[in-house]
Every structure is written in C-alpha cells, then in structure tokens.
Chains A and B, each alone.
Chain A
C-alpha cells in the first residue's frame, strides 16, 4: 500500500473517531452499517462480477438471529453478533451453492427468487414477529461498558466496520482476490488456467454473505429492532444502487455510495414521502445511462486524466 493511501486511511479513521461529536451518532452508525453492507456486496459484484439481487436476505437474517439471540436467549452482545453473522454465512453457503449453477443474468434472478423465498419464511415464522418485527432488542454490555450509551456503541460499531473493511481490503489484494478478478474479467480463461472457478465463486459469495450479515447484526444492535424491511428486495436494490453510485470495483466506492444514499433518504423521508422511491429509481437510471463508473470511479478517471495532461 502506498504511503499516500495509508495517510488517506488514517485521516478517514480520524474523522470517523471524531464524528459523533458533530453528527448524530445513530445516523453515522447507520451509514457505517450500510457502508459495510455495500462493501461486502461490492466484493461480489465489483471484484467477482456476480450480481446478487438478493443480498438483503443476509442482512435481514443476521438482524433477526442477532435480535433473537440477544432478546430471547439473552446471549452476551458479542456472541449475539457472531450468531447473526454465522447464520448469514451459512445461508450464504446454501443460496450461493444453488445460485452459482447459473451465470450472468440468471444468477441475478436466482438469488432474487431464493431471497424472496426466505423473505416469505420470515413473514410467516413465529420468531420474527411478522409485520411488527422484532422489537426491543437489548444492546447489553461489552467489557463492562454499557452499550445503551450511544457513544460507547458508536466506537464498537466503528471497530467492527474498520475490522471488516480491512478484511475486505486484504481479500481484494490477496492472491485469492486476484483470482476473483480473473474470473470477473474472463471466466473461461480462469477455468483453462486450472482454477476451480465454482469453488472460488462460492467462497466469495459466502464471505460476502457473512460480512453482509455482520452489517445486519450490527444494525440490530444500533436500532434495537429487526424488521421485514431488512430482508425485502427493496433493500437488495438499495445496496446495488449504493455500490453503483459510489463506483463498483473500487475500494471506497460503496462507502461513498452508502453515505450519499443513507443521508439522502434521511433528508428526504419527511419532505417528499413516497416520492423517495421515485428519486432512488431515477438515480439508478442516471447512473446506468451516464455515470457507470460511479462517484469514486469517475473521480479517479478525472484525476488520472489531469495527471496525464501534466506529464505531457
């Protein structure tokens, strides 16, 4: 990693450490959860070239499992988070091994359909509380710190985000990540080079599902509830939008995209009501038609063009 990038990371981390002094911590935590969700999703779409249209189901299932573990089983907070992420990982393995049997556009449809199946299961299962959701999940304590305090919780959420982000970063730059990119660029060639493509795809899918689950589990802790919205296909669409808007296949893109979308929804919710969906749809259309590299991708391209002009 070059020094300039390291400095950028440190500045970002520093800003996040100070953020709750200036911004409502719950909002920042929401952004962090969705940023992690989008980063996990980007690992699949941006770096492996697989468009999963059912990723909300991992967010949602982890949210429910963590909620149930903390509220009904009264597990310690950390174990509750792990239970949620573990459940999502397991579910990711099941859905992933079915979905990788088809490619491209079919892969997207299969993940969407399977996610819808799990959604109906949550709708009917007794432990999710149906339309009401799972309310009043206790946050518990960690190392003697009371997490009911928003600031304490904030630093836990930040630690989770930073750890997971680092893991994703390491994955992308590892030999494993290189193989994923090879699959994205040219799958037949990756096969002919002797890589067991199905195994790598599945592994990427499971990893992405698990990290999405971690985001969902953390989200339950922040809001103290888990609802059907988390698992709905609208949420699956949202994470695609965050990644697309930020820039797929870039490390920071999903973080930027999630920040913009969550802030936008937060600002617009009271003002325009149900038109939010229309605006989200319009952003989708604009991104696809004119802005396919996303905010980060376009900025990088612009930066490189400027450097190129200077050296000439």
Chain B
C-alpha cells in the first residue's frame, strides 16, 4: 500500500475527510455566530446547546414520532429557529443597550439550562442515530473509500454556507441586513423594521446551528454533551478568523478542521488542543484575527 510520510494513504485521506466533516461543522457554527454577532452584538454561548438541541430533536422525532432524517433536516432547524425567536423576544431584546458581556452571560445561563434539561430527561449517554438508507455505504474512489454520508455532510454544509453568503451579499433582504448592521438607527429611519430583522437574524443563526446538529446526528452519537465542547472550539475558530467576513469564517472553519484531522494522524496527543494552540499563535502575530478588523 502507498504511504506518505510513513502513514498509509488510506488512513491519511480518511482523516482528511473526517477533518473536512468537522471543519464544515465549524464553518456552519462560526457562520451562525458571526451573523448573530454582526446584528445583535452578542456572542451566542447557547449556540452549542442549540446545535445539540437540533440533533436531539431529530432523534426524538424519529424515536417517538417516526419522522425520518430528511423531514428532520427541515423541521428540526425550524423548531430550533423558533426557540431562538422566543429567546430573542423574551430575553435578549432587553439587553441590547447594556454591555455586550451580559448577552454572553445570559446565553451561557441558557446553555446550562438547555443542557441540564436534556441531561435530566435522557441521561448523559449518547443515543445512536442511524444513517439514512440513501446515504449509507461508500463511494470507491480507487485510492480510498469515501463514505457517502461524510460526502453528503460536507456538500450540505458548504451549500448552506454558500446560500447564506449569497443571501446576505446579493439579495435585497441581505442589503437591508447589512445596512441594519452598519447603522441600525438610520436603517430604521428609512422605514425598515429593524427589531424584526434582529429577531429573524437570531432565529436564522441558531437555525443554522440546529441544521448542523441534525447533520451531525448520524455521524456521531446524539447526546446532551455534544454541543458544549464543540462550542469552545468554535469560539477559538471565531477568534482565529475574526467575525468580519462570512467567507472568512467558512474558510477558517474548514482549514482548522483539516489541520485538526491531520494532527490526529501525525501527532494524536495534540489533536484536541491544536486549534487552541493555533489561536495562541494567531493572537501573538495578528491579534485582530486573520480576516478581522479591530473595531
């Protein structure tokens, strides 16, 4: 078998794909964080918990209602988005005039509540969620086997990212959104309902997290703790990339996923910490982040 740097090529590409899968989750989650931050000036700590909620909802739909993967892929993000809208209306909207830190603290409290609730209901152990039939099996690419579900995850997340980018940068709604981010008062004066846009933005941002959660459900065990460790890595991704640009956060997310995957091959002990190490280096060299601008 062919080897590169003493690693079998099969294993190398396997980890590369796994890294890409993780990277596409980082991309979708950091994109959601960036969209929310741009509009609400809030770092959504509950993002990981809502990602987990998406996955748990998919599992609950299947387990209790018999709703399959494809419907869940549509319904769970919508449900998570509605939860997000409720959170924004009931709580977050009272914090916009205060220091940004309060938004972080409130969403942290929410994350604890959501996580604790699911832990109380379903225990800590993960639940299996099987891959839908259409996507089980693998493509034979000649030099490696590519599991269909992994390929689907990457394609689906990147399409969602691209769609979001298109919506924000190229449509009229996106133009309103960008205007409201830049100067909410002036935008409001032009007759655009800014509070409504803020509400929808938050709903959409956490909906993205819910979507990522459903995508992740068959790829790993579905459990209450799946979001909290992920969100800290995503924070590091956001610090590395900066939240200034959408494509920036997508590229950073993917790149870090790949780097993490490669670290698993060449230096397994560091695979859990490599993203944080990169963050430390970036902070030393370019404190504003790779794509960021200091405000």
* Cβ contact within 8 Å between A105 and B110: no
Tally chain B residues at the interface, Cβ within 8 Å. Answer: 43
A244 CA to B104 CA, complexed, in Å? 13
Question: Are A281 and B236 closer than 8 Å at their CB atoms?
Answer: no
B13 at interface by CB-CB < 8 Å:
no
Which secondary structure dominates chain A's binding surface? helix
B105 touching A274, Cβ below 8 Å: no
What size tier do the contact residues of chain A reach?
35 or more
CA distance A190 to B105 in the complex (A): 26
Contacts A244-B105, A292-B102 given; indicate if A109 touches B235 (C-beta within 8 A): yes
Instruction: Known contacts A124-B269, A289-B94; decide if A110 and B279 are in contact (CB<8 Å).
Output: yes
Contact with A along B234-271 (1 / 0, CB 8 A): 01101100000000000000000000000000000100
Shortest CB distance A42–B (Å): 14
B residues in contact with A203, CB < 8 Å: none
A76 interface hit (Cβ, 8 Å): no
Given A124-B269, A285-B106; A114-B276 close (CB under 8 Å): yes
B240: nearest chain-A partner, CB-CB:
A113
Are the C-beta atoms of B283 and A101 separated by less than 8 Å? yes
* Residues on A with beta carbons closer than 8 Å to the beta carbon of B239: 102, 106, 109-110, 113
| A237 & B112 in contact (Cβ 8 Å cutoff) | yes
Which residues from B are CB-within-8-Å of A275? 116, 120
Within 8 A of B (CB), among A77-130: 98-99, 101-102, 104-106, 108-110, 112-114, 116-117, 120-121, 123-124
Interface pairs A-B: 9 shortest CB-CB? A284-B109, A281-B112, A277-B116, A281-B113, A117-B276, A278-B116, A113-B236, A101-B287, A285-B109
Cβ-based interface call for B95 (8 A): yes
Cβ of A99: which chain B residues have Cβ within 8 Å of it?
Answer: 283
- Does A288 sit at the interface, judged by CB under 8 A? yes
A113 lies within 8 A of B105 (CB): no
Residues of A230-275 at the interface with B, using a CB-CB cut-off of 8 Å, are 233, 237, 240-241, 244, 273-275
Question: Whole-angstrom distance between the alpha carbons of A114 and B229 in the complex?
Answer: 13
The answer to whether B43 touches A109 (Cβ under 8 A) is yes
Give the distance in Å from the alpha carbon of A246 to the alpha carbon of B232 in the complex. 27
Task: Assess whether A75 is interfacial by the CB under 8 Å rule.
Answer: no
List 10 additional contacts besides A276-B116, A277-B119, A280-B116; criterion CB under 8 Å. A51-B104, A101-B283, A104-B100, A110-B279, A116-B232, A123-B272, A240-B108, A244-B105, A277-B116, A289-B106
Q: Which residues of A contact B94 (CB under 8 A)?
A: 289
Of A53, A120, A233, A288, which is within 8 A of B109 by CB?
A288
Known A105-B100, A121-B273: A113·B120 in contact at CB below 8 Å: no
Q: Which residue of B lies closest to A288 (CB)?
A: B106
A113 engages B276 (CB within 8 Å)? yes
Bound-state CA distance A116–B111 (Å) is 17
B46 shortest CB reach to chain A, Å: 10
Taking CB as reference atom, which chain B residue is nearest A110?
Answer: B239
Residues of chain B contacted by A117 (CB below 8 angstroms): 273, 276-277, 280
- Interface check A191, CB cutoff 8 A: no
In the bound complex, CA of A244 to CA of B16 (Å)? 44
Nearest residue (CB) in A for B90 is A289
Residue of B whose beta carbon sits closest to that of A124 = B269
Indicate if A164 sits at the interface (CB-CB under 8 A): no
- Which of B120, B229, B284 has most A Cβ within 10 Å? B120
